[in-house]
């Protein structure tokens, strides 16, 4: 990545609270797609592989939790998932996502806080690149499970270095012990960026809700 790209990413990863993170994404939003594409950011496009493996096309509404500029939605729509809603904390990123003309509904919301959907609403929830340094907390899983239908799925990527250090695995295990969901797949670590940032490794998880 160039110095400018690395600086933007560093500001995002080093955010100390939600307000700081929102400002970092607002500042980066206009260049986000071009700069992450240049670095080979793969997560928004890989997520469709896991969804297609477990979620039938036309199963019902999906939630793109932390949708950013909406990179995933056009490709999921092409795979037969037309009902996609999105949430993001950044109004600037949501405006870019809205411009893709694919999302059914977009809402500004913060993962880790109460979400504006009723219980058992979504057939599947997916989230890429959100559970990483300086981003949404592991506690956000409780709300995501609440708004997912029993028998539905949650497909998530988690940065390897926060998986244990920030309590993600502990929350995964807690929800599984409470029969809120069942883990059905955990990938090995892989690169989030195919070209730049070789040390940014993530794991993908798939859970069946209920």
pTM confidence score? 0.88
Q: What burial class does residue 205 get, using C-beta atoms within 10 Å of its C-beta: 0-12 exposed, 13-18 middle, 19+ buried?
A: buried
pLDDT digits (tens, 9 = 90+) for 106-153: 999 999 999 999 999 999 999 999 998 877 999 999 999 999 999 999
User: Residue 17 sits in a domain of what CATH number?
Assistant: 3.40.50.150
What per-residue confidence (pLDDT) applies to 1?
Answer: 43
Structural domain that includes position 118: 3-209
3-state SS class at 204: strand
What per-residue confidence (pLDDT) applies to 5?
Answer: 47
Q: What whole-number distance in Å separates Cα of residue 70 and Cα of residue 89?
A: 13
What per-residue confidence (pLDDT) applies to 7?
Answer: 67
Number of domains in the chain: 1
């Amino acid at each position: 990545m160039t110095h400018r790209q690395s600086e933007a990413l560093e500001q995002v990863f080093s955010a100390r609270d939600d307000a700081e993170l929102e400002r970092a994404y607002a500042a980066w939003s206009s260049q986000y797609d071009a700069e992450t594409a240049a670095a080979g950011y793969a997560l928004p496009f890989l997520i469709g592989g896991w969804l297609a493996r477990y979620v039938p096309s036309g199963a019902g509404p999906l939630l793109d939790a932390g949708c950013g500029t909406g990179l995933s939605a056009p490709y999921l729509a092409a795979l037969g998932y037309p009902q996609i809603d999105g949430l993001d904390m950044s109004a600037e990123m949501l405006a870019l996502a809205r411009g893709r003309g694919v999302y059914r509904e977009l809402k500004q919301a913060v993962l880790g806080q109460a979400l504006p959907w009723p219980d058992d609403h979504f057939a599947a929830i997916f989230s890429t690149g959100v559970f990483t340094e300086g981003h949404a907390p592991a506690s956000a899983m409780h709300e995501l499970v609440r708004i997912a239908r029993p028998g539905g799925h949650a497909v998530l990527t988690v940065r390897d270095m926060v998986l244990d250090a920030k309590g993600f695995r502990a929350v995964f295990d807690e929800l599984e012990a409470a029969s809120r969901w069942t883990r059905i797949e955990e990938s090995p670590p892989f690169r989030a960026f195919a070209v730049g940032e070789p040390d940014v490794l993530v794991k993908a998880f798939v859970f069946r809700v209920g």
